[in-house]
A and B are shown apart, each in its own frame.
Chain A
Amino acid sequence: MRTCDLALAAALTLTLASQIHATPTALLQGGGQDSAPASVILPQAGSDGLTLDLRDLSDLEALEPLLFRAALQAGPDLHITVVGGSARLGKFTIKPSDHLSGSLLILDGSADVSGRLDGNLVAVDADVILHPGAMIVGDVLAYNGQVHDLGGEVTGDIRTLSSVSVAPRADEAPAAPHPESALMAFLRRSAGLTGVFLSLVVLGFGVIMFARPNLEVVADTVSHSFGRSFVVGLLGEILLLPTFGMIVVGLFLSVAGILLLPFAVIVYGLLVVLLVVGGYLAVAHAMGETFVRRKMAAGAAVGSPNSYRYMFGGLVALMVLWVGWVLFGWVPVAGPLVQAVAVLVTWLLGTAGFGAALLSRAGIRENFTGRILPPEAMTDEYLWATPQFGVPAARRPIGRTPPPL
C-alpha cells in the first residue's frame, strides 16, 4: 500500500513538473527543478518583514546587510519579499525551454541556468552555473558563492562577494599580544635601565679620558650658574629647529652651499647630540663632585676624589628616580606619576647641561664657571682686605658670578 502511494505521488510530481516546463514563458513560480531536492518558493513577508529590491545590484553597501540577514534566516519558515520577483530556497534550475521574468533570489542552494531570465539573479550561499545557451538579461550576484560561466550570456555585470566572516589566512594571522606581567615588566625595565646606565658610564669615562678639561668647565658652569644654564638650554631647545631651517635655506640660496648641505645636516645633528649628551654627563659630574666634596667637608673618608668617581656617583644619583619607576611602574596611578617625575627631572637637568655646554662653548669658555676673579678682585686693596687663605677665607661669602670679560 505504501509503495503504491509513493509511486502515485512521484507520478503526480513529474506530471506537474512537465506541465510547468512546457510553458514557454512561465513566470518565476514555474521555474524548473531537476532530480535534486526541489527548491521551495518562499512566501512573501508582511509589510514590516524582510523586503529586498534586487533591481539595482551595484549598491552593495545598501544591499549587503539585507542579503546577510536573509542568509542568516534562510529556512522554510523564512518570509521574504522580493520586489518584482521571487525568492527560492534550495537548488533551482532554469531549463533551456524556460523563460522567466523578474528578479530572482536563490537562498542556500545553487542556480543552474540553461534557459532565459529577464531580470537580475542573486544567489546567497550558492553558486551560479551558466550553461551554454543560458541568457540572463540583467545582472548576476553570487553572495558567498561563485559564478561558473560555461558559455552562458549575461547582459549585465557578474559579481561575486564573499561573506563577512572571511577569516584572515592562518599564515597571515597576527600574533595575539602577550599580556605582560608585573614581573616581566620589571625585568624588562631593569634590563633597559641597566643598559642605559652602563652606556652612560662608558660614555662618561670616555669623555673624562679624552676631554676632561672641557667636561670640567661645563660641569663648573652648570654648578655655578645653574639658573642661567637652564634658561639658555631652554632657549637653545626652542631655537634648534629654526636654526636648522635657517642653515638649510641659507645653504640652498647660496648655490655653492647646496653641495655642503648633506654635510651640514650631519654635522648639525652630531653637534646637537654632542652638546646634549655631553651636557647631561657634565651635570652628572657636577652632582658627583658636589656630593664627594660635601662628604669630605664632613670629614668622611672618600678614597681618592677624582673625575671617574664624580661621574659614577652622579650617574647613580641621576638614575635613582628611574629605579623608582622600575620598581613601582606597574602600580596603576603611582607608576605613571613616578615616570612623569623622572622624565621631568631628567629633562630639567638635561636642559641645564645643554645650556651649560652652550654657555661654555662646549667647555672652551670659562666665563660662567666661577673660576675667574672679577677685575675689582685683582686690586691690591681687595687682596689686602680679603683673606685668601685659612679659616677667614673659608668663611668669606661667595660672590655672584662675574660678568664676562
Chain B
Amino acid sequence: MSQRIAALALALVSGAGVAALPAQTIREFSATRQTHGETQLRATVDLAAGTLRLGPGQPGALYRMELDYDAERFTPISTYTAATGAIHLGVRRIGSAGLRVSNKRQLEQRATVVFSPDVDLVVEARLEAVNAEMELGDLHLVGARITNGGSRTVVRFSTPNRIRCSTASFRSGAAEFNVYGLGNARCNVVRFEGGIGAATLDFGGTWSTDVALEATMAAGNLTLRLPSGVGVRMTMDNFLALVSPEGFQRDGKAYVTPGYGEAEHHLDIALTTSLGKISIEWIK
C-alpha cells in the first residue's frame, strides 16, 4: 500500500500531466488561371508572414500562386474580377487577432506567385514580416508598389522590362530592402520610403529612359548604387543625416555629376532624410 502511495506521489511530483502543444497545421493551396486574351492585370498580393517568391511565369497562365499557409491563423485569397482585370492573392487573417509571431514555425508560410509575361501588369505587394524575393524583369510591368513592414525584401530587375513603366514605389518599415537593376525597370519615377533598417537602390542595368528618384529615409542606412555613365543630379533635404556626395559637383543647392548635361540618360534624385546615413557607390 505504501509503495502505491509512493508511486502516486512520485507521479504527481514529476508533473506527468504536461500536455503536448498542438502541432501547427500547414496547408497547401494553389490557384491559377489560363489566359483568354487578357491584355492587363492588376495584381494585389497580401502576405503577413512567411516567405514570398514572385516573378514571371509561363505565357499560357495569367497568374499562378502556390501557397503553404498556416491554417490556424490565415485563409487563402484568390479572387479574380474579370471586369477590371484585378486579381487578389495571398492570405487573410482569420478573426480579428493581429500578427503574433510566437515561434519560428509560424513563419514557415511559403508563397510562390508568378504572372504572365504577356499582359500589362500593375503589381502591389503588401507584406508584413515576410522574406521576399521578387524578380520583376522580363514582364510587361506598368507599375509596382512593394511594401514590407519587417524582415527582408530583395527586388530584382535582372532583365529589361518589356515596356515603359510609370512608377515603381517601394516602402520599407524596419526592414532590409534591396532593389537591384533599376536601370532595367524602365520606370519614369522610382519612389522609396524607408523607416529604419538598411536599404540599397541599385540603378544598374540597361538604361533606356530618364528616371526621377524620390527617396525618403527616416533613420536607416540608404545606399545608392549609381551607374557612372548616367548624368545624376541630386538635391537633399536632410536633418542630422550623414551624406557623403562623392563624385558630385556643387551646383547651387544641388549636386550634379560632371557632364550631366551631355549625358544620354539622366537620374534626378530628391533625397529627404532625418537621422539616416546615405552612401553612394558608383558602378560601371
Contacts and interface: CB of A to CB of B under 8 A. Distances in A.
Interface of A: 58, 60-61, 153-164, 166-168, 172-174, 176-177, 179-183, 252, 255, 258, 330
A168 B24 contact: yes
Contacts of A168: 23-26, 105
A153 B61 CA distance: 11
B21 A174 contact: yes
Nearest to B13: A182
Given A177-B20, A177-B21, A153 B34 contact: yes
Interface string B77-115: 011100000000000001000000000010010000000
Nearest to A57: B78
B20 A176 contact: yes
A159 B30 CA distance: 5
Closest 5 CB pairs of A and B: A181-B14, A179-B18, A162-B28, A182-B13, A160-B30
Nearest to B33: A157
A401 to B, nearest CB: 47
Contacts of A167: 23
Contacts of A166: 25-28
B75 A182 contact: no
B31 interface: yes
Given A153-B34, A157-B31, A159-B30, A173 B18 contact: no
24 contacts: A58-B80, A61-B94, A154-B33, A154-B34, A155-B36, A158-B32, A158-B33, A161-B27, A161-B76, A163-B27, A164-B27, A164-B71, A166-B25, A166-B28, A168-B105, A172-B105, A174-B21, A177-B20, A179-B14, A179-B15, A179-B16, A180-B14, A180-B18, A181-B13
A162 B69 CA distance: 11
Nearest to A253: B240
B27 A157 contact: no
Contacts of A179: 14-18
A181 B12 CA distance: 9
A156 B33 contact: yes
Contacts of B14: 179-183
Contact of B108 (A155, A156, A162, A172): A172
Contacts of A181: 13-15
B29 interface: yes
Range, interface on chain B: 20 to 34
Interface in B1-56: 13-18, 20-21, 23-34, 36
B36 A182 contact: no
A183 B78 CA distance: 54
Contacts of B240: 252, 255, 258
A159 B31 contact: yes
Contact of A180 (B15, B20, B28, B34): B15
Given A158-B33, A159-B78, 7 more contacts: A58-B80, A60-B75, A60-B76, A155-B36, A157-B78, A166-B26, A179-B15
A180 B26 CA distance: 29
Given A168-B24, A174-B23, A252-B240, A157 B71 contact: no
A144 to B, nearest CB: 10
Contacts of B275: 252
Nearest to B76: A60
Given A180-B15, A252-B240, A258-B240, A161 B20 contact: no
Contacts of A154: 33-34
A164 B72 CA distance: 10
A166 to B, nearest CB: 5
A176 B18 CA distance: 10
B39 to A, nearest CB: 16
A201 B26 CA distance: 50
Contacts of B36: 155
Contacts of B108: 172
Nearest to A154: B34
Given A157-B78, A174-B23, A182 B15 contact: yes
Contacts of B80: 58, 156-157
A17 B14 CA distance: 69
B71 to A, nearest CB: 7
Nearest to A184: B14
Nearest to A155: B36
Contacts of A58: 78-80
B37 to A, nearest CB: 11
